[in-house]
Amino acid sequence: MPFAEVADLRIHYTDAGEGEPLVFLHGFTLDHRMWKRQIDHFRGNYRVVCPDSRGHGLSAVPPTGYSRDHRVEELRELADKIELERFHLIGLSMGGSTAIGFALKHQERLRSLILVSSGAAGYSVGKKISKIDQLAIEKGLEAARARWMHWSLRYYRNRNEDLGRELEIMMREHPGAVWLDKMRGKYPRTYDLDHIHRIGVPTLIMAGQSDTMFIELARQLHAGIAGSSMVIYKKTGHMINLEIPERFNSDIERFIESVSSA
């Protein structure tokens, strides 16, 4: 398993296949394993890179530094280390927010941007996340983890139990240091919706119709990024790449091919 020394941390990533590079960024409390279906699909024709953000997966777990700016800088340094000059960047949820941050600072490095069930800096999706932060401080990590899993996995309990268990494994193995970062909530704030008009690379926005907390943000991202495309998937929740992987892979492949042939 490859590691790179990035921002004085040991960052893990997977690197499979050859060809035009695709970089996939995972969601909060998840890791590179959430992209297995995409790695298997794309590695035959593309170079597929899936890093674990700090404090996730097999990467180092520092006590602090869990801001979007830190994740963007880690990605830039990793891209330099493994010689990714320009690449297609795909991010889901927290990974989507990281991808937006990267595009705003380094869009000359991008062939395209694909935002999946994306978060965005400065956009609130509710008070539940901040309550989990407080729970970690007051009652410990296991209490916070239990609440997070109850909240984030309940959509799949009666819809797709196998997928729920797959996500649960990653969440149980997540070390949780991010919840105890003493700087959490104190990092400089950015409001992406005020700046996304600066993104000029080809952009695809993907959202699930049942993902009620993120679908409105997807519409605002689409409205704010000139020339972007948007796909809304019926009867689909937050984890589009896992719920409907064949459709997801096909739509991304079609988009990337259109960008590459332009």
**Distance in angstroms (rounded) separating the CA atoms of residues 4 and 26:** 17
Tell me if 235 is assigned to some domain: yes
Residue 130 has pLDDT above 70, yes or no: no
Tell me if 116 is assigned to some domain: yes
Residue 259 host element (H or E) = helix 245-260
Give residue 131's pLDDT.
82
Tell me if 161 is assigned to some domain: no
Average pLDDT over residues 159-169: 96
Tell me if 147 is assigned to some domain: no
pLDDT per residue over 196-251, tens digit each? 999 999 999 999 999 999 999 999 999 999 999 999 999 999 999 999 999 999 99
Q: What percent of the chain has pLDDT over 70?
A: 98
Give residue 127's pLDDT.
62
Average pLDDT over residues 114-128: 88
Tell me if 162 is assigned to some domain: no
Tell me if 242 is assigned to some domain: yes
Average pLDDT over residues 181-186: 91
Residue 254 burial by CB count (10 A; 0-12/13-18/19+): exposed, middle or buried?
exposed
Q: What percent of the chain has pLDDT over 90?
A: 91
Domain extent for 68: 3-123+189-260
Tell me if 179 is assigned to some domain: no
Q: SS3 of 252, please?
A: helix
Average pLDDT over residues 89-111: 98
Instruction: Categorize the per-residue pLDDT at 3 as very low, low, confident or very high, splitting at 50, 70 and 90.
Output: very high
Tell me if 170 is assigned to some domain: no
The tally of domains found in the chain comes to 1
Q: Which residues pair with 229 in a beta bridge?
A: 204
Alpha helices by DSSP H, 107-244: 128-139, 141-157, 161-173, 215-224, 240-243
Residue 262 has pLDDT above 90, yes or no: no
Instruction: Categorize the per-residue pLDDT at 25 as very low, low, confident or very high, splitting at 50, 70 and 90.
Output: very high
Residue 1 has pLDDT above 80, yes or no: no
CATH number, domain with residue 35: 3.40.50.1820
Q: The tokens of 231 are what?
A: 């796909």
